[in-house]
């Protein structure tokens, strides 16, 4: 069944079967919207909205797998302390919801093949619908790879190292039997299919849309931007540059010829009241006041301080706060960007982001990719392929950094770097404060895990301990500050990856033989 929703109104609509969903243009539009709903809702335990695959939960899980956000409660303790197993909710429901959404996409794609074009629904619009589904399908498979498979740099052609890349609709009967025969693709095969889907999306999607749909419905710019991320995970610097150059001008000010994307003047200009309408957000997952991840999942609930009526669960870690590349005068540390709690009745103390301030209706869209990421992706790829300190790479880095770091002494110049490797390191470092509380930290830890020069740790980094009773004194702007930490997990440890859920292994005899080692 396709549980559908209006494009601009996420109130659930009547469920449509795959045999009736493609009989009218209106029903087809609802079916496509239902694929987005599958990415936004992401149910927990069957009925509680949490935001797997692309909603709130994916952001929180991405942060809790890394060290730049800390945990002031035990709410995400299993992920934060790396104690998952094949039955634990977060990895189980991520897998289930991701593949449920993928199957929705595949059902819609198959249904679209049966539709005869008309004046009410042209072939071009049918192609756009398919492109949207293929973009979402590609994203879901990529996120599954980042959590359940080793990075591309680690033997991408190893048998059954990736995830099952599903492109066929499973609707019952023979399709179920066929699906149960499909095991894990190689990582390389998965990436090839991801790029194939995103290439189709780029070709068929509109350059832009109007209103909130410019951000919450797939566009050509979103497909290109996601390709820069995927190619970065492949260490394919030439392809990152080729794709990013479609969106980034050769010199500052950097404004995209596709979609007119541009950095906002403020480092938090894509958040708060501007979350649904700004020049920087390329693609986000829609939430609203009647359909969001609730008090147990929404970003505003989890990331906001108790002092601002949030739950005070996930705060900025002193590990990130005290890094030299995150100076005291950085506007991302200013009162306009940070809310503070005091220990005691207001939680454990510490600094919380103001990126998601709507604690009342919890309506903020979940960010997927911003123009700032495209600029830093391009900067890294250029710097990695340069023999010296490349001026364009430096300009791209500075465009992102200098809107937050406005003191000249803290800004970078060519003299700041002796080699191109030093510049690459600064670009990777800049991603950490720029994308804090957006779930991207794990992506970088994962893709760089085997990088000889820039791996972030030997596996999963150590993190600020949940047991810390008062975080407030730990924000010293001094990287030598010590405090209790959760232990690191080596890359060789089986816990670097999430396990395939036990239920999947029971139901799928092929995957039962392909569980991640150690589980």
pTM of the predicted model as reported, rounded to 2 decimal places: 0.95
Please check whether residue 88 lies inside any domain of the structure: no
The beta strand positions in 301-365, using DSSP E, are 314-316, 338-344, 347-353
Please check whether residue 39 lies inside any domain of the structure: no
Mean pLDDT of 356-372: 97
Distance separating alpha carbons of residues 519 and 514, to the nearest angstrom = 11
Which pLDDT tens digit goes with each residue over 457-469?
999 999 999 999 9
Mean pLDDT of 201-213: 95
The beta strand positions in 200-306, using DSSP E, are 281-285
Please check whether residue 478 lies inside any domain of the structure: yes
The per-residue pLDDT for 143 is 98
Q: Which residues lie closer than 8 Å to 234 by C-beta, 6 or more apart?
A: 152, 191
- Name the token pair of 491: 């890359």
Question: Which helix or strand (DSSP H or E) is residue 485 part of?
Answer: strand 485-486
Quickly count: other Cβ atoms within 10 Å of residue 167's Cβ.
16
CB 287 within 8 A of CB 55: yes
pLDDT at residue 11 tops 80: no
CB 40 within 8 A of CB 366: yes
Distance separating alpha carbons of residues 428 and 482, to the nearest angstrom = 23
CB 56 within 8 A of CB 302: yes
Lowest mean pLDDT among 76-80, 174-178, 230-234: 174-178
Mean pLDDT taken over the chain: 94
Domain holding 377: CATH number? 1.25.40.390
Which pLDDT band, with edges at 50, 70 and 90, does 10 fall under?
A: very low
| CA atoms within a 13 Å half-sphere pointing along the CA-CB vector of 63 | 27
Distance separating alpha carbons of residues 58 and 148, to the nearest angstrom = 14
452-464 burial, b for 16+ CB within 10 Å, e for fewer? eebbbbebbbebb
Which pLDDT band, with edges at 50, 70 and 90, does 196 fall under?
A: very high
Which pLDDT tens digit goes with each residue over 320-351?
999 999 999 999 999 999 999 988 756 789 99
- Report how many helices (DSSP H) and strands (DSSP E) the chain contains, helices first: 17, 10
Give the domain range for residue 330: 70-80+244-482
Please check whether residue 167 lies inside any domain of the structure: no
Please check whether residue 166 lies inside any domain of the structure: no
Which pLDDT tens digit goes with each residue over 417-435?
999 999 999 999 999 999 9
The per-residue pLDDT for 413 is 98
Question: Which helix or strand (DSSP H or E) is residue 464 part of?
Answer: strand 463-464
Locate tokens 């634990």: which residue? 88
Cα distances from 451 to residues 50, 157, 343, 476, in angstroms, run 33, 18, 39, 30
Which pLDDT band, with edges at 50, 70 and 90, does 15 fall under?
A: low
Whole-number percent of the chain with pLDDT over 90? 89
CB 168 within 8 A of CB 175: yes
CB 55 within 8 A of CB 366: yes
Mean pLDDT of 284-312: 95
pLDDT at residue 7 tops 50: no
DSSP state, residue 370: E
Please check whether residue 43 lies inside any domain of the structure: no
Locate tokens 């780029």: which residue? 202
Task: State phi, psi for 44 to the nearest 5 degrees.
Answer: -110, 125
Please check whether residue 234 lies inside any domain of the structure: no
Which pLDDT tens digit goes with each residue over 468-519?
999 999 999 999 999 999 999 999 999 999 999 999 999 999 999 999 999 9
Please check whether residue 498 lies inside any domain of the structure: no
Number of domains in the chain: 1
């Amino acid at each position: 069944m396709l549980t559908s929703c209006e494009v601009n109104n996420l109130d659930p609509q009547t469920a449509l079967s795959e045999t009736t969903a493609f009989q009218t243009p209106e029903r087809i539009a609802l079916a496509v919207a239902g694929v987005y709903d599958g990415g936004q809702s992401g149910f927990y335990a069957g009925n509680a909205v949490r935001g797997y695959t692309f909603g709130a939960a994916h952001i929180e899980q991405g942060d809790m797998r890394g060290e730049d956000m800390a945990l002031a409660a035990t709410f995400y303790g299993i992920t934060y302390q790396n104690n998952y197993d094949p039955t634990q909710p977060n990895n189980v429901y991520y897998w289930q919801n991701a593949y449920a959404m993928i199957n929705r996409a595949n059902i819609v794609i198959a249904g679209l093949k049966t539709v005869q074009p008309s004046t009410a629904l042209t072939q071009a619009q049918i192609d756009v619908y398919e492109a949207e589904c293929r973009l979402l399908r590609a994203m879901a498979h990529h996120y599954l790879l980042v959590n359940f498979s080793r990075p591309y740099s680690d033997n991408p052609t190893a048998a059954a190292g990736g995830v099952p890349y599903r492109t066929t609709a499973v609707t019952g009967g023979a399709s179920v039997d066929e699906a149960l025969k499909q095991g894990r693709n190689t990582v390389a095969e998965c990436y090839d299919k991801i790029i194939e889907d995103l290439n189709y999306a780029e070709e068929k999607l509109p350059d832009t849309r109007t209103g909130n749909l410019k951000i919450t419905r797939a566009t050509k710019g979103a497909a290109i931007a996601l390709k820069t991320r995927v190619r970065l995970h492949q260490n394919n610097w030439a392809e990152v540059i080729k794709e990013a150059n479609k969106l980034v001008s050769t010199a500052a000010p950097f404004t995209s010829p596709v979609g007119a994307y541009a950095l906002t003047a403020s480092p938090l200009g894509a958040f708060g009241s501007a979350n649904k309408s700004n020049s920087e957000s390329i693609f986000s997952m829609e939430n609203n006041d009647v359909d969001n991840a609730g008090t147990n999942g929404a970003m505003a609930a989890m990331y906001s301080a108790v002092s601002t009526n949030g739950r005070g669960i996930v705060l900025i870690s002193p590990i990130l706060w005290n890094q030299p590349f995150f100076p005291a005068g950085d506007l991302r540390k200013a009162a306009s960007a940070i809310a503070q709690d005091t220990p005691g009745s207001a939680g454990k103390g510490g600094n919380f982001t103001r990126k998601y301030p709507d604690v009342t209706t919890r309506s903020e869209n979940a960010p997927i990719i911003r123009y700032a990421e495209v600029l830093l992706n391009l900067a890294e790829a250029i710097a990695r392929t340069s023999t010296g300190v490349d001026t364009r790479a430096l300009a791209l880095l500075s465009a992102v950094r200098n809107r937050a770091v406005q003191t000249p002494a803290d800004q970078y110049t060519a003299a700041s770097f002796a080699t191109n490797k030093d510049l690459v390191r600064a670009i990777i470092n800049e991603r950490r404060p720029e994308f804090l509380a957006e779930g991207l930290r794990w992506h970088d830890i994962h893709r760089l895990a085997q990088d000889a020069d820039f791996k972030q740790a030997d596996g999963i980094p150590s993190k600020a301990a949940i047991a810390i009773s008062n975080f407030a004194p730990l924000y010293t702007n001094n990287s030598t500050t010590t405090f209790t930490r959760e232990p690191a997990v080596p890359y060789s440890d089986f816990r670097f990856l999430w396990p395939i859920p036990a239920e999947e292994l029971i139901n799928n005899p092929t995957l039962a033989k392909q569980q991640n080692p150690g589980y």
